[in-house]
């Protein structure tokens, strides 16, 4: 976890992890057969540590959606979130790793989906909304910005909130 | 370029590139000081080779937008597109590489922006649309799907087209 704050995926090595944990390299390999596998587990721990308690779906829908968007932006832009894009580049020929990544992300995404479903059941969002794709729209947009070196701003949270609530396409701020 | 079809970013090495090009490793390093730098240039060549000629903004806007979305989906889902996410994991502490990536992607994104601006000038899209963020919405959504191991479908192209044209949030197909 400490290494996450310092290095990128490429610079992270099993040797480096072993040294930081003051164990032998073979000990690290006993638990994780690949670097990707280790990083996916570490991302899981980091995302879990970032959890901020449930979003209460009681107030107005704008407040709820903005908080959901804000948390997704925060998670994707975090060191752990950025590792997800990096590790994916290591999984093209690693089916077990692909499955591990999808299984790891599932519960974290479910936290977001449950909010979307609560908003649907209140009638704040369309009953046949593709909640899963909705989350990809939000998370993916942030990811795309980050890949291009642009850190997400509060204005981006507003733009994505308006998109979810009103289908309002993003406008240039005046 | 041949290696792109076979290996993921992690498996690609300067040694492997040198061997395939039948040159010495030092020759590769003479042109590219890092693997990231080499891959970014290769992605540029691959994306350029994928170009399919201009999209004529003459027909109905749905046709134009669908074609734009289709091309973005195709580019992001291609081996070159997937390399972009992977290489980004290598750039956290490499400012020159970050700049190289942004500079490389600029012209490819401009091809998409020009279509969006043409649609704006015809009145098919709002005059104050954030064209750049619009492209991130499309490309990022596809990227997010791919990271989760789900290959984009024709239905996704339809869903994103409806979002751009009508602000219609993605629905579950019935």
Q: Which residues of A fall within a CB distance of 8 Å from B87?
A: 89
pLDDT tens per residue, range A67-86? 999 999 999 999 899 899 88
Q: Does A113 touch chain B (CB under 8 A)?
A: no
pLDDT at B166 over 70: yes
The tokens for B171 are 């629905």
Task: Sort out which chain B residues have CB atoms less than 8 A from A170's CB and list them.
Answer: 129-130, 133-134, 137
What is the mean pLDDT of the segment spanning B3-20? 89
Q: How high is the ipTM of this complex?
A: 0.90
Cα–Cα separations (whole angstroms), residue B82 to A21, A47, B8: 32, 23, 9
Per the CB < 8 A criterion, the answer to whether B134 and B67 are in contact is no
- Whether A83 and chain B come into contact, CB under 8 Å, resolves to yes
Task: Work out whether the CA dihedral A88, A67, A49, A103 comes out positive or negative.
Answer: negative
B3-166 CATH choice from 1.10.357.10, 1.20.210.10, 1.10.260.40, 1.10.3720.10: 1.10.357.10
User: Which residue in A98, A136, A169 is closest to B129 by CB distance?
Assistant: A169
Q: Give Dmax over CA atoms of chain A in angstroms.
A: 58
Euclidean distance between CA atoms A63 and A152, whole angstroms: 19
Please give the pLDDT value at position A59.
Answer: 87
pLDDT tens digits, one per residue of B68-82: 999 999 999 998 998
Q: Is A46 on the interface with B (CB under 8 A)?
A: no
Mutate to test the interface with A, among B38, B107, B132, B147 (most CBs of A within 10 A): B147
Contact A92 B8 (CB under 8 A): yes
Q: How far is the alpha carbon of A107 from chain B, nearest alpha carbon, in Å?
A: 13
Does any CB of chain A come closer than 8 Å to the CB of residue B126? yes
CB contacts under 8 A, B 129-148 vs A, are 129-130, 133-134, 136-137, 139-148
Ramachandran assignment for A46, one of left (phi > 0), alpha (psi -120 to 50 degrees), beta (any other): alpha
Identity of the residue in B86, B99, B140 whose CB atom sits nearest the CB atom of A89: B86
Kindly determine whether residue B159 and residue A89, on different chains, have CB atoms separated by under 8 Å. no
Contact B144 A149 (CB under 8 A): no
Q: Are B135 and B39 in contact (CB under 8 A)?
A: no
Instruction: For residue B47, give the nearest of B20, B69, B76, B68 by alpha carbon.
Output: B76
> Can you tell me the distance from the alpha carbon of A78 to that of A29, in angstroms, rounded to the nearest whole number?
26
- B143 and A140 within 8 Å at the Cβ level: the answer is yes
pLDDT tens column, B24-53? 999 999 999 999 999 999 999 999 999 888
Indicate the burial class of A173 (C-beta count within 10 angstroms; 0-12, 13-18, 19 or more): exposed
Interface A:B, Cβ pairs < 8 A: 175
Those residues of chain A that have pLDDT short of 50 are none
> What's chain B's average pLDDT?
92
CB contact under 8 A, A136 and B125: no
B52 vs B134, which has greater pLDDT?
B134
Q: Does B14 touch chain A (CB under 8 A)?
A: no
Spatial CA neighbour of B57 closest among B47, B49, B68: B68
Q: So what's the pLDDT on residue A112?
A: 92
Three-point CA angle A133, A134, A135, nearest 5° = 90
Q: Is A153 on the interface with B (CB under 8 A)?
A: no
Query: What is the Cα–Cα distance from B101 to B130, expressed in whole angstroms?
Result: 22
pLDDT value, residue A154:
94
């Amino acid at each position: 976890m400490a290494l996450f704050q310092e290095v990128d995926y490429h610079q992270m090595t099993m040797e480096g992890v072993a040294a930081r944990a003051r164990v032998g390299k073979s000990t690290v390999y006993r638990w994780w057969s690949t670097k990707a596998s280790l990083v996916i587990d570490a991302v899981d721990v980091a995302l879990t540590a970032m959890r901020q308690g449930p979003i209460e779906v009681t107030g107005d829908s704008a407040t709820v959606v903005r908080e959901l968007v804000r948390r997704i932006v925060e998670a994707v832009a975090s060191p752990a979130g950025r590792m997800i894009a990096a590790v994916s580049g290591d999984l093209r020929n690693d089916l077990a790793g692909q499955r591990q990544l999808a299984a790891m992300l599932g519960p974290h995404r479910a936290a977001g989906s449950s909010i979307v479903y609560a908003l649907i059941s209140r009638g704040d969002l369309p009953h046949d909304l593709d909640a899963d794709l909705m989350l990809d729209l939000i998370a993916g947009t942030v990811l795309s910005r980050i890949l291009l070196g642009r850190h997400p701003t509060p204005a981006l949270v507003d733009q994505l909130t308006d998109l979810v609530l009103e289908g309002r396409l993003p406008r240039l701020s005046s």
